Amino acid sequence: MNQSVRKALNLLNLFDEHNNELTLKAIAERANLPKPTAYRLLSALESMNFVYKLKEGEHDSRYRLGLKLLELGQLVSDQLEVRRVAYPFMEDLALEINEAVHLVVVNQMEATYIEKVESKKAIRLYTRIGKNSPLYIGSGPKLLLAHLPEEKQQEILEQADGIEQGEFRNELYRIREEGYSYSIGEQDENTTGISYPIYDYRNHVIAALTVSGLSTYFEGENVEAIKTKTKATAEMISSKLGFRGFVQGRVK
């Protein structure tokens, strides 16, 4: 880790329930840093809303932790909550359709698989909890990308190689309109993925419920049954998380 980043993060660790407000002098002394160095690091943290400067006096300043940490903490809390709530439903779905079931969330500029339930089939897909994927590859990541703000979508797509943006934006529009996403052979050859959104109490899409397996099983009546059951499971998880926006199978 970059030494400056390490030093800056270490300053955040100086705050606790007994020291929720610290002066520049105290921070520099506790971190064993020259006062100008501590000030420079704190200024960088302040620019990102990780700390908040309460007062700047003639010889010293006082700092508190910033609201950005609250925002990030809420994101972590939401991810832990959706994982806890979703898991028993994922188990039931995997048992019913005998395909692998994943839970996928946005993580900065990527998608991260935070939970998985295996199928009982002899041939299984190689995916793992903690796996990261570009947001433009695979049914789960693409579903999440489709529900991000347009400026975030643009930022991500500008970094994507080999993507025809006009055609891809049409696909994101279709995902939002139809309410689900699918992929064929995007992450692994001869595999298909189907994903439906999970909403929270704020009506935000916070995760994708993804079913994936060998493409030969995702055909005809079987794929329609998989879609129906996956959609119903995503709606049950959303309802458990406080979402009340489903009306006759559609989102309000």
19-65 pLDDT tens trace: 889 999 999 999 999 999 999 999 999 999 999 998 766 667 889 99
Rounded Cα gap, residues 39 and 35, in angstroms: 6
CA 225 to chain centroid:
27
CB 107 within 8 Å of CB 132 = yes
Domain boundaries defined on the chain: 3-65, 70-251
Rounded Cα gap, residues 230 and 221, in angstroms: 14
Report the range out of 75-79, 116-120, 162-166, 245-249 with the highest average pLDDT.
116-120
The reply to whether 3-65 and 70-251 are identical in fold is: no
Which residue in 43, 10, 9, 7 sits closest to 24, CA to CA?
43
- pLDDT at res. 215: 92
- pLDDT at res. 18: 83
Which residue in 70, 76, 78 sits closest to 202, CA to CA?
78
Token pair, residue 208, equals 């994708």
Mean pLDDT of the chain: 89
Given pLDDT bands bounded at 50, 70 and 90, which one contains residue 246?
A: low
The CATH number fitting domain 3-65, selected from 1.10.10.10, 1.10.150.530, 3.90.650.10, 1.10.260.40: 1.10.10.10
Rounded Cα gap, residues 27 and 149, in angstroms: 38
Across residues 118-122, what is the average pLDDT?
81
CB 26 within 8 Å of CB 15 = no
What is the DSSP annotation of 95-128?
HHH-SEEEEEEEETTEEEEEEEE--S-SS-----
Token pair, residue 30, equals 């506790």
Strands 100-107 and 205-214: antiparallel
Rounded Cα gap, residues 249 and 242, in angstroms: 16
- pLDDT at res. 27: 93
CB 91 within 8 Å of CB 118 = no
Share of the chain above pLDDT 90, in %: 65
- pLDDT at res. 251: 61
pTM passes above 0.85: no
Q: Per CATH, the architecture of 70-251 is what?
A: 2-Layer Sandwich (3.30)
142-189 pLDDT tens trace: 999 999 999 999 999 988 888 888 899 999 999 999 999 999 999 888
Which residue in 64, 66, 65, 61 sits closest to 23, CA to CA?
61
Rounded Cα gap, residues 148 and 151, in angstroms: 8
- pLDDT at res. 250: 52
175-186 pLDDT tens trace: 999 999 999 999
Tell me the longest C-alpha to C-alpha distance in the chain: 75
Given pLDDT bands bounded at 50, 70 and 90, which one contains residue 120?
A: confident
Rounded Cα gap, residues 194 and 17, in angstroms: 45
Given pLDDT bands bounded at 50, 70 and 90, which one contains residue 239?
A: very high
- pLDDT at res. 58: 60
- pLDDT at res. 249: 47
Across residues 235-240, what is the average pLDDT?
96
